[in-house]
Structure 1
């Protein structure tokens, strides 16, 4: 354990410290945060699934203009019909009608049905491969062999996320370089892909050693890690690095709204829950009135990305109006442990806490 900086993940990615910043989707990632974490010796990550090819190229260029350290770009793999959901105008109008009271509260109209709900994945992955980040991280499945082969040829490390040992085995057999074992405690979306996420709610204490025992690839632990104690626990369980999400999301450098970040340091952080209300996929966030009102109605909601599109307009209006009750506030179960509001202070504290405890062994 005293050689915690020299594990297989750090060696593969060229990191000074085996700390990975969780990638945030939906516009919550920022170049500032990626640069801060990478410059501190960890792996900064940018969630790019909402960006088109030009946006991905622009983000990669902006990061490279400010750091020569490794960084990751993250995409969501197409899952079920997510890349082009089959929904007609009548169905779209019916789904929008479910949210009509909330649009009215915010004084906005429902967003019109777009030509596409999300950028085309084929275009995104081409832009990512052209950008050649140190790592391509992904969620919701296993990339096609051709993509994995191209990553190997280009020297891009592949990082896939799982919520069960079976998912980890699927990634390992495909030749994915590094595997993120994502415990039930994690904030944001549950990244399950072999079974429904409601059936994949194993906590990190159980999941990490099961995944580490099941695969050859080095394991990165995620979920419920917010301080040095969590990093050491993850390493003790067989992980080679720790991925930290909520603690970095709460930093000023992230692109989370000030409203969201303040809630992460408030009493609301003591209570999180799982919901499909905001995106159509199961995700963990701070419990708020909209989440509570939608309980029992989630089976009537459209899948991702339709629901995400419908609530996206609400989110922007809610931020502008200071309405935390009508927007997603993604957070993991360790949010009450948050102490730092800058990425540099957080990263320094994580390193100091780990090394102080190791010296005390």
Structure 2
């Protein structure tokens, strides 16, 4: 069951993909260790500059000769006025004061408009550096970008949170699609439907997507062990993408406070918020999320809110203060462990083989 078309196509031993978590979690060591242990390591390049993207690709090539991939954020149009930016910053100023940060009252909107340039430069780097696999979040790239990547034999993986989005991914030419259930931690890849409409649980989503697309389906959202892997395969998925399980691994670049928060959390302590970034994301409930709840509806969209809260998140992390950090986590934190990547993958495979023998 594990030596299937995804493993074969991606040239990996096991159909286990490490979720490309942006923001420093997917260190070169984490990505390389996943690939060295038989899975597919993925760079979360969403917040990297083109220079940083190239540097990390080259660094990973020194650490593994096995395939690894990269994930890019598809830029989205957004509308925001200076008064909206100012009022959002005013809401954040009392929190800045709690962290001994200076108040901020002026932000130039123009600074948010270089996402397309960054994305196009990253695509060029992926081609130049011959990264074999590229996945996308928050949408589908243009026909031109897809055609160019395919010309260089790069395997393309889309992201979907509904059947409709999965169908669009297939139509666009994606080779595989990650389907993210509502259990997933951090930002989900919703791009067609509203966040409420896209909150479909993974066990409901997998078979419905499988029945409506012909490309291989990869399941994501709350999967932490062999039980999640085998359940996904029984429902028709060909592999899994795991985020939180790898986030608490030794090699992950997540802040120690973030790791500890997950390792000590229960399943009812995660919730959806758009207070940190302007996009709905699942994380562990903390003071920031609760204080910002009453303002959430009026906050500017991603990437504006994400930039506005950057100094707060950074200062909170520097002070080892979990109150104002974005503690992204899926809905299965009780299953998280502090362990090496090798140990996690070995355990999953050993348990999957046991489950397979019962089927």
Shorter-chain TM-score range: over 0.9
Is the Cα–Cα contact under 8 Å of residues 157 and 176 in structure 2 kept in the other structure? yes
CA deviation string 1:251-292 (max 9, x = no partner): 121111000001111035641000001000000011112111
For 1:92, which of 85, 97, 100 is the aligned residue? 85
Instruction: Measure the CA separation in 1 of the matches of 2:195 and 2:80.
Output: 22
1:134 maps to 132
Query: Which residue is 2:166 aligned to?
Result: 168
| Structure 1 residue 80, shift from structure 2 partner | 2.4
Task: Check if 1:116 corresponds to 2:114.
Answer: no
Task: Tell me whether 179-188 or 5-14 shows the greater mean CA deviation.
Answer: 5-14
- CA distance in 2 between counterparts of 1:325 and 1:187 reads 18
Task: Find the aligned partners of 1:98 and 1:110 in 2 and give their Cα distance.
Answer: 10
Note the 1:1-361 alignment, pairs <5 A: 4-81=1-78, 86-88=80-82, 90-110=83-103, 113=107, 116-117=111-112, 119=115, 120-267=118-265, 270-361=268-359
Contact conserved, 2:266 with 2:333, CA < 8 A, in 1? no
Secondary structure of the residue aligned to 1:251 is coil
Distance of aligned partners of 1:141 and 1:229 in 2 relative to their CA distance in 1, 3 Å threshold: same
Contact 2:29 2:63 in 1 (8 A): no
Which string of whole-angstrom CA distances, capped at 9 and with x for unpartnered residues, describes residues 289-323 of structure 1? 21112223211111111111111111111112121
Q: Residue 250 of structure 2 contacts residue 338 of structure 2 at CA under 8 Å; is this kept in 1?
A: no
Bigger mean CA offset, 157-166 vs 189-198 = 189-198
What is the CA RMSD across the aligned residues, in angstroms? Answer: 1.6
How far apart are residue 92 of structure 1 and its match?
2.9
Distance 1:48 1:110 in 2: 30
Q: Is the 8 A contact 1:279 1:308 kept in 2?
A: yes
Q: Secondary structure at the match of 1:6?
A: coil
Unaligned runs of 5+ in 2: none
Cα distance in 2 between the residues matched to 1:27 and 1:54:
15
Q: Distance in 2 between matches of 1:59 and 1:225?
A: 27
Distance 1:297 1:287, change over 3 A: same
Specify the SS of the correspondent of 1:296.
helix
Gaps of 5+ in 1: none
Cα deviation 1:47-101 (Å, max 9, x = unaligned): 10111111111111011111111111101101222xxx6543x543322111011
CA positional deviation for 1:139: 0.8
TM-score computed with the length of structure 1 as normaliser: 0.94
